[in-house]
Structure 1
Amino acid sequence: MKEEAKEEMGSYATNAIDAIETESAEETKSIPPMPRNRLFYIFIVNKGIGYINFISYLLASLATICLVAYLSIVQPFVLTVILNIRENTGNLTGSLALYDEIIALPATLIWGVLSDRVGRRIVYSLGFLFLGTSLILYPYVKNVYPHMLLCRLLFSLGSSACTCMMTGTLGDIAGNQHERGRVSAIVGMCSGFGGLIAGLVLIKLPWQMGNKVKNEIEGIQLALGIIGGCSVALSAIFYLTMPKTGAGAADGLTLWVNKVILRRKVGDSSKSTEEMISPWRMLKYGILVGRDPRVALAYVSSFVARADTVLFSSFMSLWVIQYFINLGWCRNGTTCYPAAGDTHTLTGYGQGISLAFAPIFGFASEKLKRPTVLAVAGIIGAIGSLPFAFTKVAPADKSNFVFVTMTGIGQIGMIVTGMTLVNGMHIDPRYRGSVAGVFSFCGAVSIMVMARLGGYLFDVWMHGAPFVLMGIAHLIVSLLSIYVRIVTPRLEREDRAKWEADQRGKAH
């Protein structure tokens, strides 16, 4: 095992040089390339990844964001139509998101560490199973506490597993570091398609079903039952088709389980001790690697990107509904059709625009320094979010579409560039799931803080308050990105020196 570990670290050192943008092409050519596959003439993936594996991963990325965004969009209608709640909806929405993320915080770390042992596809499949079960139960709640809360917590377990694996699996699939941006771009596009489907297509399903059954409530129940059933079916499909990556990546975890958990004798040799990798060591690596400014920036981008996804869909829907409630158009526990129409138009438009910019950010992250790309995404997102927060015009006004466009561009830029940053070659492949867990953990923290604060300010200050928070977060990312861009040349020199030292040690 020790010799294999040395070989693996030697391979890791060889990969690390691929992440360094050197001035000498000859030096890079001297590094033997790792085995790769080319799919669809564009995407460079690791050896062993086939078309079915790649397509399955992209479909999982689409379905993950689709389901997460859909619950955020439809939840206000569950509150107002099924439970007939008209007041304090912003606070309730923020509170549910807070409790959701309280569960997601430890869950993302556990899923990430677990995936480094049992593999990504098992965790991914469990995630979709939990998502589907929660959606099936959601429209049958009788109250907010505890019924809706329990369903939301089950949904949280599923969404944390899926979002964590979406990040972790990317590093397992994507090939050459300099071509990794295009894989991140297609994943970002699939994520955008997921949000687009949720905002333009699935939002209509409850009322289409309502025309076929007795009333609107039964229509919502039937629609969510169909979507939840599809999620359960996807969990089985992904178990069969997702790439078998991550399983046994940290092999020493088996020794730790046998010795610490099962109390089995595994020998007292130094060899056994060196091989043993505890979950705490795996988790510690995921946290401490954040001392690298590039990884820290990726973690911060996750904070903002996840907040964008949930705040935009949840509070956009709530903002539109509240606008028409104030006009007196929504009352008596009935579906507000103008609100539903404007909601799906605005959210769908924002997600649609983001799709067009996903490949642009992917290409830019290959050709330019990634902190530079992230800084641009942050500035664009702030330009969209801040003016939109203070708009006084009707939701369907043309000016709002401009703001939504800018917000969508900034959001997809955060997602694509952040996923590329966190899957850099300066990450030890053995702990990729653990790093993805911390990456998702940061996103969970953002939703817990931003959704709760946004919901509170929605009720006590103004309905555009959540978008003020989004704009400020984008500006902070931009400033941090500029700092990381300044120190990147020094970090690359340190990477090269470390690689050269590893090569000298291997030679001796």
Structure 2
Amino acid sequence: MNCHRYINYTPLNYLAFNYAGFACVAIIVFLSATQPFYIKEVIGIAPAPGTSKDTKIGHIIGGLGFIDELTAMIVAPLLGALNDNLNLRGYSGSKIIQSSSFVIIALSLLGFAKLCGNLIPDMFIFRSVFAIGVTGCMSMITVTLNELTLSDFEFSKLLFWKKRNMIEYNPIILQEDVEDGREQPVVAVKKNGKYAGLVGVCTGLGAIFSVSFLVTLPVKFSGNDNNPDIGMKEGLKSSYLVVMTFALISFIALFLFLYNTRGDLDTETTDKKTYVEVLKEGFEFSKHNKHAQLAYCGGFLSRSTTVATSIFLPLMVYNFYYNIGECKTGNGNWAGKISCHEGYVFSAILSGVAQTVSLLAAPVFGYLVDSPRFGKFKTLATAGAIGAIGNFGLSLLNTQGNSYNPKTFTCFFMVSLIGLSQIGLIISSMSVLSGIPNAHNIMGSLSGFYSFCGGIGIMIITSLGGFLSDYWILSPFFILGVFNLGLLWVYFSFAKNGNA
């Protein structure tokens, strides 16, 4: 068997690996949190006076999420196979795809700020472009985590002032594995829970940075003492331009400092495979590998949870402020520069609670993944159980019909549990996928299918949840609770057969 290794993995490579997740999540949270307000202020769709059923903002939000994930589902497997194909041709697939994805994100934000007219179709077009960029970035995180896991990087490298002895690194340990009745050597990889946990911390920091700074930009740009004539519409557009600049800076940083895999891959037996053959190989591997299937279930749920907290929590808060009469229309103007400003800020606070819990819990889940007594599979199941409690608790407690008060201890506690589940699902599912033995040459394809499965979950929760939220505002979280129960059923089915 050929030796597979990634050598000379530098501290700057490691920092860039973590920064990619930070920057991408920050931009995702910003866009998701500002969309309900963008629909009203820029597109001009306001709640009809005297009724909540005529708003249909839930339909629009759900439709945007649907087109976002439809695009992601189509693009993710293609980008994954493109990564593997670029690697086999001697290029650094993950570096090219992940860095350039921020250019695509910047183009979509420019469209929202300058090109989007008062038409819903414009939003759908630029949201699709945004989805392509986000998919390129996020689908590569599992690939780069696999590169890090198989590299010579150790945390001691961060102590750059200390001298280290130069020794040749070789992560290969041959073991016997039985797959389909055949014995074959297995590449033993380092435990990667600590790496997955720290990238989870960075994504959590990205979310907190977003709700603390990026999401507050429209308020800062509109209606202050220095610019009393600037409204929320112009404030939103200006904030999109600022975030676009942030995306372009991120592109430059990642292009310069992401790890370059060129020359490190084994190509003796695979360099003649076409793009389609690489994609097919990843699909066939997924059909027979139980660990990959469990990781896909985790990806399905983790991305569904991320969408529920970033899209439907702000919608729930908006609905509350509308129902108490503080966001109604009057004389053609949104009565909201003062009252709905409070709703906007509270939405950021509630989302910030979930993301703060995720941030604090990320190292704990990383430790559990690496723990020999617990491991990545039990960690995945535990995150699913916590999610079931949080989502069912949020949707069924302290609610009457379509009326729900988010300013209660129950709401904050259940949202905290959802945030805890979210980071646990992300870390454990990524660890399961990136730690699959003998899959480094098709990791891009596997990561693409992982994102594809996440897209299926998001399409369900955004389309069905968005539709039902116009009648029961908490329905997306009830659906998410059912998803968590489904993950537990899959885990116990695999564990019963000795696969997890």
> Scaled by the length of structure 1, what TM-score is found?
0.81
State whether structure 2 residue 191 is matched by structure 1 residue 179.
yes
The answer (yes or no) to whether the contact 2:44–2:118 under 8 Å persists in 1 is: no
2:455 to 444, 460, 463: 444
What is the CA-CA distance between 1:249 and the residue it aligns to? 4.5
1:111 to 72, 79, 82: 79
Correspondence for 1:294: 291
The answer (yes or no) to whether the contact 2:76–2:136 under 8 Å persists in 1 is: yes
1:179 is paired with a residue whose SS is: coil
What is the CA-CA distance between 1:251 and the residue it aligns to? 4.8
State whether structure 2 residue 241 is matched by structure 1 residue 245.
no
Q: 2-side partners of 1:366 and 1:71: how far apart?
A: 34
Correspondence for 1:255: none
Correspondence for 1:329: 326
Distance 1:246 1:182, change over 3 A: farther
- The one-letter amino acid of 1:356's match is L
1:150 to 125, 131, 137: 125
- The worse-fitting range, judged by mean Cα deviation, of 111-120 and 313-322 is 111-120
- The worse-fitting range, judged by mean Cα deviation, of 302-311 and 442-451 is 442-451
Distance 1:373 1:126, change over 3 A: same
What is the CA-CA distance between 1:150 and the residue it aligns to? 0.9
Correspondence for 2:103: 129
What is the CA-CA distance between 1:288 and the residue it aligns to? 2.4
Correspondence for 2:419: 408
The answer (yes or no) to whether the contact 2:391–2:477 under 8 Å persists in 1 is: yes
Greater helix proportion: 1
2:273 to 274, 277, 295: 277
Correspondence for 1:59: 19
Correspondence for 1:503: none
The answer (yes or no) to whether the contact 2:317–2:347 under 8 Å persists in 1 is: yes
What is the CA-CA distance between 1:375 and the residue it aligns to? 0.8
The answer (yes or no) to whether the contact 1:108–1:441 under 8 Å persists in 2 is: yes
What is the CA-CA distance between 1:376 and the residue it aligns to? 0.7
Correspondence for 1:49: 9
Q: 1-side partners of 2:265 and 2:124: how far apart?
A: 36
1:352 is paired with a residue whose SS is: helix
The answer (yes or no) to whether the contact 2:106–2:248 under 8 Å persists in 1 is: yes
Distance 1:138 1:479, change over 3 A: same
Q: 2-side partners of 1:306 and 1:467: how far apart?
A: 13
Q: 1-side partners of 2:262 and 2:442: how far apart?
A: 9
State, as a whole percentage, how many aligned pairs show the same letter. Answer: 27
Distance 1:424 1:321, change over 3 A: same
CA offsets 1:475-501 (integer angstroms, 9 cap, x no match):
11122122223334xx59xxxxxxxxx
1:395 is paired with a residue whose SS is: coil
The answer (yes or no) to whether the contact 2:77–2:279 under 8 Å persists in 1 is: yes
The answer (yes or no) to whether the contact 2:43–2:120 under 8 Å persists in 1 is: no
What is the CA-CA distance between 1:200 and the residue it aligns to? 2.7
CA offsets 1:257-306 (integer angstroms, 9 cap, x no match):
xxxxxxxxxxxxxx9xx752122221122222222221101001111111
- The one-letter amino acid of 2:147's match is D
The answer (yes or no) to whether the contact 1:192–1:354 under 8 Å persists in 2 is: yes
- The one-letter amino acid of 2:149's match is A
What is the CA-CA distance between 1:399 and the residue it aligns to? 1.4
State whether structure 2 residue 281 is matched by structure 1 residue 306.
no
CA offsets 1:112-156 (integer angstroms, 9 cap, x no match):
111121411110122111111212221442234321111101101
Q: 2-side partners of 1:464 and 1:414: how far apart?
A: 21
Correspondence for 1:501: none
State whether structure 2 residue 62 is matched by structure 1 residue 94.
yes
Q: 2-side partners of 1:133 and 1:77: how far apart?
A: 21
- The one-letter amino acid of 1:289's match is F
Structure 2: 5+ residue stretches without partners? 48-54, 151-170, 172-188
The answer (yes or no) to whether the contact 2:218–2:239 under 8 Å persists in 1 is: yes
Correspondence for 1:369: 375
1:456 to 457, 467, 476: 467
Distance 1:411 1:60, change over 3 A: same
Q: 2-side partners of 1:226 and 1:95: how far apart?
A: 26
1:337 is paired with a residue whose SS is: helix
Correspondence for 1:203: 215
The answer (yes or no) to whether the contact 1:120–1:247 under 8 Å persists in 2 is: no
Number of aligned residue pairs: 429
List structure 1 segments (4+ residues) > 4 angstroms apart after TM superposition.
Answer: 246-252
Distance 1:130 1:248, change over 3 A: farther
What is the CA-CA distance between 1:219 and the residue it aligns to? 1.2
Q: 2-side partners of 1:99 and 1:248: how far apart?
A: 37
State whether structure 2 residue 236 is matched by structure 1 residue 220.
yes
The answer (yes or no) to whether the contact 2:291–2:436 under 8 Å persists in 1 is: no
2:8 is paired with a residue whose SS is: coil
Q: 1-side partners of 2:465 and 2:458: how far apart?
A: 10
The answer (yes or no) to whether the contact 2:208–2:356 under 8 Å persists in 1 is: yes
> Scaled by the length of structure 2, what TM-score is found?
0.82
- The one-letter amino acid of 2:448's match is G
- The worse-fitting range, judged by mean Cα deviation, of 239-248 and 95-104 is 239-248
- The worse-fitting range, judged by mean Cα deviation, of 155-164 and 337-346 is 337-346
Q: 1-side partners of 2:415 and 2:393: how far apart?
A: 10
What is the CA-CA distance between 1:162 and the residue it aligns to? 0.6
- The one-letter amino acid of 1:133's match is L
1:396 is paired with a residue whose SS is: coil
Q: CA RMSD in A?
A: 2.0
1:426 is paired with a residue whose SS is: coil
Q: 2-side partners of 1:250 and 1:127: how far apart?
A: 26
Correspondence for 2:167: none
Q: 2-side partners of 1:82 and 1:348: how far apart?
A: 25
What is the CA-CA distance between 1:179 and the residue it aligns to? 2.5
Distance 1:74 1:250, change over 3 A: farther
The answer (yes or no) to whether the contact 1:178–1:366 under 8 Å persists in 2 is: no
The answer (yes or no) to whether the contact 2:292–2:436 under 8 Å persists in 1 is: no
Q: 2-side partners of 1:144 and 1:305: how far apart?
A: 32
Correspondence for 1:360: 364
Correspondence for 1:27: none
CA offsets 1:91-111 (integer angstroms, 9 cap, x no match):
111111111122111211111
- The one-letter amino acid of 1:145's match is I
- The one-letter amino acid of 1:84's match is G
Q: 1-side partners of 2:262 and 2:496: how far apart?
A: 34
1:201 is paired with a residue whose SS is: helix
- The one-letter amino acid of 1:350's match is A
